[in-house]
Chains A and B, each alone.
Chain A
Amino acid sequence: MKENKDIRVVIGMSGGVDSSVAALLLKEQGYDVVGIFMKNWDDTDEFGVCTATEDFEDVTRVANQLDIPYYAVNFEKEYWDKVFTYFLEEYKAGRTPNPDVMCNKEIKFKAFMEHAMSLGADFVATGHYARIAEKNGRVQMLRGVDDNKDQTYFLNQLSEDVLEKVMFPLGELPKSEVRKIAADHELATANKKDSTGICFIGERNFKEFLSEYLPARPGEMQTMDGIIKGKHDGLMYYTLGQRQGLGIGGPGEPWFVVGKNLKDNILYVEQGYHNDYLYADALTAVDVNWINPDLVGDAFTCTAKFRYRQKDSGVSVEKRADGTVEVRFDNPERAITPGQSVVFYDGDTCLGGGTIDTIWKEGKMLDYVG
């Protein structure tokens, strides 16, 4: 068996605390660690400084502390073609995309992985909160032990082939412990705050950002019965179950987005968090990926997440011949959103997931959701 020092692990370093600690842990375990910063998006801040520059500087500081070689690679073209184009297309289609899922699938565990392999890597590592386990000779992906940070939701499109060459050094740790390790080692990124939101939008106003790329078509807000309640700024700015930014006053319970009519450019709104229109009992998903395809039956029960950081819900899954799946919920679920991922779990094991396509209630497809 190879000694750790002869095992090259290429780790994606973002300049954040998580990947910094992941690199540190690998280095402490004696691996031949190489750090890579991915530049996926070209942007400058208000001072004309490239926003990636600061993050890369943090990578260089940490890598020098750990005494590991580091490099920067550019995946702007791949990111634009595979992630950003998808992101815009989904918004154009009235759906709410999940660019992080696509970024993991197409960039981190494809373009980056290929690059790492060309550097003679035995493994690729990232600072994701997830675990990899070998059970009966099979490689599976488990949730990270920190329930609040578990990121398997975003990793649902990975395959066993890929996972065989992946390490997630943070999977066994709670976030608080990661922060502590960073502080104990005085890593340059120890006190850096976590990034929020979608990476290429950063701290900026989402609406403003989107309007730079897609023309906004303002239209009417209506109740499901056709009562006009005001104007919307463009359907793409709203997502199902949203309360903020509607600007509808008046008596009674608050208003929520319950659907979109793309053809007539109408945003449907209704009153009450638990409004009936927000509930569904089944969905279909496309682009379904099973991490260990042969270990999953054709029809089974398991748990599922319909959005990140949500508690699991009981579901029954039925595979269809065309590779899509039907998912029935044990209990009605609120604000299931087309374009988001549905991710399946058996206990701690992530089975895979897909993109939510259609939403159903009592055997009828809800065409008003968009």
Chain B
Amino acid sequence: MEAIYLDHAATTPMSEEVKETVCREADAYFGNPSSIHSFGRRARKLLDEARKVIAASIHASDREIIFTSGGTEADNMALIGTALARRHEGRHIITTAQEHHAVLHAAEHLEKQGFDVTYLPVYENGKISPADLNAALRPDTIVVSVMFANNETGVIQPIAEIAALLRDHPAYFHTDAVQAFGSIDMDVRQLGVDLLSVSGHKINGPKGIGFLYAAQHVKLEPLLFGGEQERKRRSGTENTTGAAGLVTAVKHAAEKRQARAEAYGSYKEAFLNELKAENVAFSVNGLLEETIPSTVNLSFPGTHVEQLLMNFDLAGVAAASGSACTAGSHEPSHVLVAMYGKEDTRTMNSVRFSFGILNTLEQSQEAARRIAKIIKRLV
């Protein structure tokens, strides 16, 4: 039985081009970019070029790109780094109840340090409301963090509207674009964001590398101390092979964005149509029309998420729930709880399916048929 991977929102495999780059660069550019000799210079050159390409992909300047170990570090830096740098200007932070834990737990950490955090509510359509943000804004708000697209539902948030609201406010605007970057073209100037996080492994790049865009005017305190790399904002010898892989992935994301979006969107559609044809009872969590093409989150009434995921896996379908699961302790997804409330059964019977490079149209239909068989047995 062929295993079908419908969990590209968790992580993606490296594309052939990325793998090739990583292998090639590992040999050619192993030097330490801080070294004085020729080996170091070659690595420095690679890193500088990578930074330039990545900056160009979001219409930023290369001085505004900080390489990080991934999305988590970029998000942590965006919140904690700015909060610490601006703690004398204000102590209020606004984020949303449906952020990734890399943002939420960083915010909670700041709360313990004496910062005041407002968590904006999420509506049943999976979106936050700019009006709520407007109401929550205070003169001492120093940073606002709203994700571009949610990682569990795929629902795109009103980023442009939020940026407009903040145009005349001193608060920095950070967006976690980890899930959205693969499918949405981003121009940071036009969007009006000050900080933006991207992760390599979500866009068919390597794990262990990502970046934070921080606009030139953004004040940022470092979280890591040492050799003062990345213009003193992020110490640690640069991950040059990772950066080489990342830049290939970013290039491809830009070149193939349209084609990928169409392909993944068609897989998703075929998948949903097949489920309907099989008469499976389900509902979509969040407004389907406003999701990124790759992702959909479905509720299957009368089932339980643990039972579903195990059965799907045994039938060769890899999917996920947003719920944290360690040694069998099962917490309902904080995103669905934010949308529906704690008591709603959808928080305990929902599964995320995310399509990508490993899929085909036929596979998506086949996965739907396997799922239909399981749901019929369980319900």
- Interface pair A73/B314, CB less than 8 Å apart: no
Of B306, B328, B329, most buried by chain A (CB within 10 Å of CB) is B328
B97 to chain A, nearest CB (A): 24
- Interface pair B311/A37, CB less than 8 Å apart: no
B330 within 8 A of A: yes
- Interface pair A71/B310, CB less than 8 Å apart: yes
- Interface pair B326/A119, CB less than 8 Å apart: no
Query: Residue-by-residue, is A31-67 near B (CB-CB < 8 Å gives 1, otherwise 0)?
Result: 0001001110010000000101101100000000000
CA distance A218 to B377 in the complex (A): 55
B285 to chain A, nearest CB (A): 22
B307 within 8 A of A: yes
Which B residues between 298 and 315 are near A, CB-CB below 8 angstroms? Answer: 306-307, 310-311, 313-314
B327 within 8 A of A: yes
Dominant secondary structure at the A interface: mixed
B325 within 8 A of A: yes
B378 within 8 A of A: yes
Which residue in chain A gives the minimum CB-CB distance to B377? A120
Please name all residues of chain A whose beta carbon is closer than 8 Å to the beta carbon of B328 when the two chains form the complex: 37-39, 52, 56, 72-75
Which residue in chain A gives the minimum CB-CB distance to B326? A53
Please name all residues of chain B whose beta carbon is closer than 8 Å to the beta carbon of A69 when the two chains form the complex: 313-314
B237 to chain A, nearest CB (A): 31
- Interface pair A73/B306, CB less than 8 Å apart: yes
Please name all residues of chain A whose beta carbon is closer than 8 Å to the beta carbon of B377 when the two chains form the complex: 120
Please name all residues of chain B whose beta carbon is closer than 8 Å to the beta carbon of A71 when the two chains form the complex: 306, 310, 313
- Interface pair B311/A118, CB less than 8 Å apart: yes
Please name all residues of chain A whose beta carbon is closer than 8 Å to the beta carbon of B313 when the two chains form the complex: 69, 71
- Interface pair A42/B314, CB less than 8 Å apart: no
Contact of B330 among A34, A38, A74 (CB under 8 A): A74
Please name all residues of chain B whose beta carbon is closer than 8 Å to the beta carbon of A42 when the two chains form the complex: 329
- Interface pair A52/B327, CB less than 8 Å apart: yes
- Interface pair B329/A119, CB less than 8 Å apart: no
Which residue in chain A gives the minimum CB-CB distance to B313? A69
Number of residues of chain B lying within 8 A (CB) of chain A: 14
CA distance A120 to B311 in the complex (A): 8
Contact of B327 among A34, A53, A115, A118 (CB under 8 A): A53
- Interface pair B307/A50, CB less than 8 Å apart: no
Which residue in chain B gives the minimum CB-CB distance to A34? B314
CA distance A318 to B328 in the complex (A): 44
Please name all residues of chain B whose beta carbon is closer than 8 Å to the beta carbon of A50 when the two chains form the complex: 326-327, 329
Query: Residue-by-residue, is B313-331 near A (CB-CB < 8 Å gives 1, otherwise 0)?
Result: 1100000000001111110
B345 to chain A, nearest CB (A): 16
- Interface pair B307/A39, CB less than 8 Å apart: no
- Interface pair B330/A119, CB less than 8 Å apart: no
Please name all residues of chain B whose beta carbon is closer than 8 Å to the beta carbon of A37 when the two chains form the complex: 327-328
- Interface pair B327/A119, CB less than 8 Å apart: no
Which A residues between 68 and 126 are near B, CB-CB below 8 angstroms? Answer: 69, 71-76, 115, 118-120
B347 to chain A, nearest CB (A): 15
A45 to chain B, nearest CB (A): 13
CA distance A53 to B310 in the complex (A): 19
Which B residues between 119 and 155 are near A, CB-CB below 8 angstroms? Answer: none
CA distance A53 to B327 in the complex (A): 6
Which residue in chain A gives the minimum CB-CB distance to B310? A71
CA distance A42 to B306 in the complex (A): 18
Please name all residues of chain B whose beta carbon is closer than 8 Å to the beta carbon of A52 when the two chains form the complex: 327-329
CA distance A42 to B331 in the complex (A): 13
Contact of B325 among A72, A119, A120 (CB under 8 A): A72
Of B306, B313, B314, B378, most buried by chain A (CB within 10 Å of CB) is B314
CA distance A106 to B203 in the complex (A): 47
Of B307, B329, B377, most buried by chain A (CB within 10 Å of CB) is B329
- Interface pair A115/B307, CB less than 8 Å apart: yes
B307 to chain A, nearest CB (A): 5
Which B residues between 326 and 362 are near A, CB-CB below 8 angstroms? Answer: 326-330
Asked whether A39 and B327 contact (CB < 8 A) given A73-B306, A118-B378, the answer is yes
Query: Residue-by-residue, is B23-38 near A (CB-CB < 8 Å gives 1, otherwise 0)?
Result: 0000000000000000
CA distance A154 to B151 in the complex (A): 47
- Interface pair B329/A39, CB less than 8 Å apart: yes
B99 to chain A, nearest CB (A): 25
Which residue in chain A gives the minimum CB-CB distance to B374? A120
A28 to chain B, nearest CB (A): 20
Please name all residues of chain B whose beta carbon is closer than 8 Å to the beta carbon of A55 when the two chains form the complex: 327
Asked whether A119 and B314 contact (CB < 8 A) given A39-B327, A50-B329, A74-B330, the answer is yes
Query: Residue-by-residue, is B279-301 near A (CB-CB < 8 Å gives 1, otherwise 0)?
Result: 00000000000000000000000
Please name all residues of chain A whose beta carbon is closer than 8 Å to the beta carbon of B307 when the two chains form the complex: 115, 118-119
B292 to chain A, nearest CB (A): 29
Which residue in chain B gives the minimum CB-CB distance to A15? B327
Contact of B329 among A74, A115, A118 (CB under 8 A): A74
B377 to chain A, nearest CB (A): 8
- Interface pair B311/A72, CB less than 8 Å apart: no
Please name all residues of chain B whose beta carbon is closer than 8 Å to the beta carbon of A39 when the two chains form the complex: 327-329
Of B311, B313, B326, B327, most buried by chain A (CB within 10 Å of CB) is B327
B158 to chain A, nearest CB (A): 37
CA distance A39 to B328 in the complex (A): 6
CA distance A76 to B311 in the complex (A): 21
Of B306, B310, B311, B329, most buried by chain A (CB within 10 Å of CB) is B310
CA distance A6 to B280 in the complex (A): 26
B302 to chain A, nearest CB (A): 12
CA distance A52 to B327 in the complex (A): 7
Please name all residues of chain B whose beta carbon is closer than 8 Å to the beta carbon of A73 when the two chains form the complex: 306, 328
Which residue in chain A gives the minimum CB-CB distance to B330? A74
- Interface pair A119/B311, CB less than 8 Å apart: yes
- Interface pair A120/B314, CB less than 8 Å apart: yes
CA distance A74 to B310 in the complex (A): 13
**Could you list 15 A-B pairs, sorted by A, with CB under 8 Å?**
A39-B329, A50-B327, A50-B329, A52-B327, A53-B326, A55-B327, A69-B313, A71-B310, A75-B328, A76-B329, A115-B307, A118-B307, A119-B310, A119-B314, A120-B314
New A-B pairs, 19, CB < 8 Å, besides A37-B328, A53-B326, A74-B330: A34-B314, A50-B329, A52-B327, A52-B328, A52-B329, A56-B326, A56-B327, A69-B313, A71-B310, A71-B313, A72-B328, A73-B328, A74-B329, A76-B329, A118-B307, A118-B311, A119-B310, A119-B311, A120-B314
Question: Which residues does A use to contact B, with CB under 8 Å?
Answer: 34, 37-39, 42, 50, 52-53, 55-56, 69, 71-76, 115, 118-120
10 closest A-B pairs (Cβ-Cβ)? A39-B328, A72-B328, A56-B327, A74-B328, A52-B327, A71-B310, A53-B327, A74-B330, A72-B327, A73-B328
